Homo-oligomer: A and B are copies of this chain.
Amino acid sequence: MLQERLIREIPELKIHGRTTACLEPLTLFWTASGFECNISGTELSVEVEVTYDTYEPWFSYTVNGDWVGRQMLPKGRYWIPLFRGMSAETIKNVQLYKDLQAMSDDGHSFIHIHALRYDGRFYPVAKKALKLEFIGDSITSGEGLFGAKQEQDWIPMFFSALRNYSYLTAKALDAEYRIFSQSGWGVHSSWDNHIKSAIPHYYKEICSLIPGAENRQIGGTIPYDFGSWQPDYVIVNLGTNDAGAFEQPGWLDEETGKWHKMHKNPDGSYADADICVFKNAVKDFLGILRQCNPKAQIIWCYGMLGIPLQMPICESLSEYAVQTGDRKVTYLQLPDTDDINVGSREHPGPLCHQQAAEVLAKYIKRLNMDK
């Protein structure tokens, strides 16, 4: 017989992704955040409450590890069927993933999960031996993983959690993972020189890059309890937008009246002073990451959209290692996008993410064996 139960009433449910302690409802902020359950019975539905101003969220879900659905979420509070007609006795593993990133451009774009409706029983979800955190930009947000090659619109439809190298890497390693990412952002600034659109400024809170009162109210700006979930590997995939900033006009910080811009030399190379600024941002971020994740191996990945800042990144990593004695910091180059593996919006496509996941999973396996 069908029954409905609130999320907080289902202790067997596993929550994925950074979120608040609140379960009435459970709010999904980040790409790939969601929930996972093991459940018997013939059917399962989820009650969501969806809000947004401009950017509607999408979600995907898997049954027994296989992707079965993906859809746009219109505004409102309503039930969505996840499966029906299945054998009552078998235990199904179901995972729901937010496909859209936390939106720094829309203070109202949220998925809230209220309840589940079902006719079976919940069972505990097995713990994974490995935990990964992915920190990145549009690449890690899965921008360009859906949509025809010619697509140029910057819309939620083209973002994906499940075609993402992060999902594929975690799957290959049988790992649990979280994503912290924002399209267009970098370590020091965004692609267009906004120095506030930098990942490190927001890393210590649950999800403080979403603007506005609503996010504050639901707890997005509360400090994140790093102790609650310590990753074995922190994978940083940043630098692509910092390189873009050298090609773009400057940005005026209206609060301070100061212009910010990364410069190139007349010969086309990057100006040393600005490279220095970038390197300091990398080193500072490494310090923050280490402080928050004392035991994690940090892997700085780069290359899915070219490697113009590879040398400064490597230098920063080694200077940080030398200065701090912290040797658990390494660099890994990922496969580049080309005519074959490109997706929509000139971003890495599904094939490029698969290639990247192979390289990354192989690398982590090797590191894991060395332990």
Binding site for B on A (CB under 8 A): 54-56, 58, 63-72, 74, 79, 81-87, 146-148, 150-153, 155-157, 269, 272, 303, 306-307, 310-312, 314-315, 317-319, 321-322, 327, 330-333, 335-336, 338, 344, 359, 362-363, 366
Contact = CB atoms under 8 A, between A and B. Distances in A.
B311 A86 contact: no
Contacts of A70: 68-71
Contact of A72 (B84, B86, B153, B155): B84
Contact of A86 (B87, B150, B153, B319): B153
Contacts of A67: 146
Contact of A314 (B58, B86, B315, B366): B315
Contacts of A71: 69-71
A148 B66 contact: yes
Please give me the 9 A-B residue pairs with the lowest Cβ-Cβ distance, nearest first.
Answer: A314-B314, A333-B333, A64-B148, A85-B155, A71-B71, A66-B148, A315-B318, A311-B318, A86-B153
Contacts of A79: 74
A321 B82 CA distance: 50
B311 A330 contact: yes
Chain A contact residues: helix, strand, loop or mixed: mixed
A363 to B, nearest CB: 7
Contacts of A363: 336
A343 to B, nearest CB: 9
Given A83-B157, A307-B332, A310-B314, 11 more contacts: A56-B85, A67-B146, A72-B81, A85-B156, A269-B327, A303-B333, A311-B317, A314-B314, A314-B315, A314-B317, A336-B363
Contacts of A56: 81, 84-85
Contacts of A81: 56, 72, 74
Contacts of A327: 269
A338 B366 CA distance: 10
Contacts of A86: 153, 155
A282 to B, nearest CB: 13
